[in-house]
Structure 1
Amino acid sequence: MAAFTENDDLQKAVFTDVNLSGARFVRCDLSGVILRAAEVAGADIDAPWLLSGDNALFVNGVDVAPYVDAELNRRFPGRELRVANDPEALRTAWAALERAWATTLEQVAAMPAGTTDISVDGEWSFAQTLRHLVMATNTWFNGAIQGAENPHHPIGQPNAEYETDGLDMSVFSTAKPSYDEVLAVRAEHVTQVRDYLATVTTDELAGTRKNPWSPEYPETVLSCLHTILEEEWEHLRYATRDLATLTA
C-alpha cells in the first residue's frame, strides 16, 4: 500500500484514471482540489474549518457548506450559539452546551464498561476527548484569558503536533487516569467557565489577550471564548459519531 507523508510534495499533481477507493487522508491540505467525473459515493469528509469564514465546498456547482452548517445546528441544538457575542447570549450558549454534553455522558454511562477507552478508526477514545477539552480550556481560558503562567492540568490530552508549537509536553502525565478521574477534572473545568461567564461584562469581552500559539497576534476575550465553544461543539460531534459506531 502506497503511503505519502509531509516529505512528499503532491501540490498540483494530476491523477487520471487512478483508483483511490478506500484511501484515507489525515491532516492533509486539500483546499482548491478539483474533482471531475469522480465517483465519490460513500465518501466521508470531515473538515471542521470548512464552516468558518468564507470557506466553501462545491458539489456539482452548489456550495454545500451552508447546508452542512444548518444540518449540524439541527442535530446539535444550541450549536448555533457558538458565535454569541454578548454576556447574556454567552451564558445561554454555555448552558446549551452543558445540556448537550450531559445527554452524551448519560448515554456513555449506560454503555458497557471500557467503552470510554475504545478508539474508533484511530481517533481519540471518549475519555481522551474529555481530556483534550481539559487541555483546550487550560489553553484558552486559564492561560489566554486568565493569564495563568502554568495553566495546564497534567490530565490534559494535547495534540501530538503541539510539541512543535512550543508547548511544554512534560507538564502532562504519562499515567493513564481512570474515567472517574477524567470526569471529575472535566467537571471542574466546565464549572470554571460557567462561573466566569456568570459575571463577565461587555467591556471584559473586548479586552485583548495573546494568542497562546502565536503570541504576536492579539485576541479578544470574546474570540478566546469562541474558540472554546468551537472546540466543545466539534469534539462533541466527533464523540457522538464514534459512539454511534460503537453502538452499531
Structure 2
Amino acid sequence: MTTSDAAADPDRRFTDRDLSGVRFVRCDLSGAVVRGGDVAGVEIDSPWLLEGGTALLVNGVDVTPYVDAELNRRFPGREQRRATDPDGLRRAWAAVERSWATTLARVAAMPPGTTDLSVDGEWSFAQTLRHLVMATDTWLGRAILEQPQPYHPLGQPNAEYATDGYDTSVFTTELPPFAAVLAARESRVTMVRELFAHITDADLRVPRRNPWSPQHEETTLSCLHTILEEEWEHHRYAVRDLDVIDGRPTT
C-alpha cells in the first residue's frame, strides 16, 4: 500500500488522536506520515535506517546523514564497516574488537548480575553476546564456511527464529553462566579474526547463499559486511542499555 492509498483509507488515518506513549516493536512504519503532530520525546531505533538509500524526513530534512555521522563519532571505527579490501576489513574488525574490549571492561566493573539485566524488555548484555555468537555462526559458519550445523548451543536466536519455522532445539533453554558466554563469544571472535588474517581479494568475490533466503546470492564480502553491521548495531544497543543501568539509583 502506498502512502497516498493509506491517506485515503480512513482505517489507516489517525486525526486528533492521542497516541502518546505508545510503543511499536518490530512494526512496519515505512512511508508513515506525521502532520502537525507533537513528537516531543519520540525515540526511533531502526537498524535498517541507513540501508538502501532510505530517508527519514523531519520537517522536510533528511536526517539520515546526520545520524550516520553521529554514530561514527560516538563509535570510532564504525565508519570502516563497509571496507571492500582485505586490509580495510582487517582494520574494521580490529576496531570492532577494540570497542567491545572497552565495553567488556566497563561491564566487569559494574555490580554483579549486571550482565543479566534487561532494559525495557530488550536483551540483557549476556543475551546480546549470545546473539552475536549465533550471528557469526549464521554468516560465517553457515554462509561462508558452509558448515552443516554451525550453531553453538549458547547462541541466542532472534525473536522470529522459531515462528519462522527454524529448529531451536540446538540452543540451550538454560541461563548459562557469564563465563561460559564469554568463552563462546571469544571463540567466535577468534574465528572471524582468523578468517580476516588470511582472506584475499579473490576470496571476497566468491558467491555465497544467503542463509535466510538461499535463492538470493551473496558474496563472501557481503556476508562479512553483515557480520560487521551486526557487531556495531548490537554494540550500540548494549552501550545504550548499560547507560540506562548506570543511571539507575543505587539501593
Q: Place the TM-score, normalised by the shorter chain, in its bin.
A: over 0.9
Question: What is the CA deviation profile of residues 10-60 of structure 1, one whole-angstrom value per residue up to 9, with x for unaligned ones?
Answer: 997010110111100000100000000111111100011011121000000
Secondary structure at 2:174 match in 1: coil
Cα distance in 1, alignment partners of residues 216 and 116 from structure 2 = 37
Instruction: Give TM-score scaled by structure 1 length.
Output: 0.94
* Deviation at residue 166 of structure 1 after TM alignment: 4.0
Unaligned regions of 5+ residues in structure 1, if any?
A: 1-9
Q: Which residue of 2 aligns with 1:60?
A: 59
- RMSD after superposition: 1.2
Which amino acid is the alignment partner of residue 105 of structure 1? Answer: L
Query: What percent of counterpart residues are identical?
Result: 65
Q: Which residue of 1 aligns with 2:236?
A: 237
Q: Which residue of 1 aligns with 2:135?
A: 136
Secondary structure at 2:208 match in 1: strand
Q: Which residue of 2 aligns with 1:216?
A: 215
Which amino acid is the alignment partner of residue 218 of structure 2? Answer: E
* Deviation at residue 164 of structure 1 after TM alignment: 3.7
Cα distance in 1, alignment partners of residues 123 and 30 from structure 2 = 25
Which amino acid is the alignment partner of residue 105 of structure 2? Answer: E
Q: Which residue of 2 aligns with 1:198?
A: 197
* Deviation at residue 160 of structure 1 after TM alignment: 2.5
Q: Which residue of 2 aligns with 1:4?
A: none
Instruction: Give TM-score scaled by structure 2 length.
Output: 0.93
Q: Which residue of 2 aligns with 1:90?
A: 89
Q: Which residue of 2 aligns with 1:70?
A: 69
Aligned pair in 2 of structure 1 residues 60, 110: CA closer, same or farther (>3 Å)?
Answer: same
Cα distance in 2, alignment partners of residues 165 and 193 from structure 1 = 27
Unaligned regions of 5+ residues in structure 2, if any?
A: 1-8
Secondary structure at 2:160 match in 1: helix
* Deviation at residue 123 of structure 1 after TM alignment: 0.1
Query: 1:165 touches 1:213 (CA, 8 Å); kept in 2?
Result: no
Q: Which residue of 2 aligns with 1:107?
A: 106
Secondary structure at 2:143 match in 1: helix
Aligned pair in 2 of structure 1 residues 112, 53: CA closer, same or farther (>3 Å)?
Answer: same
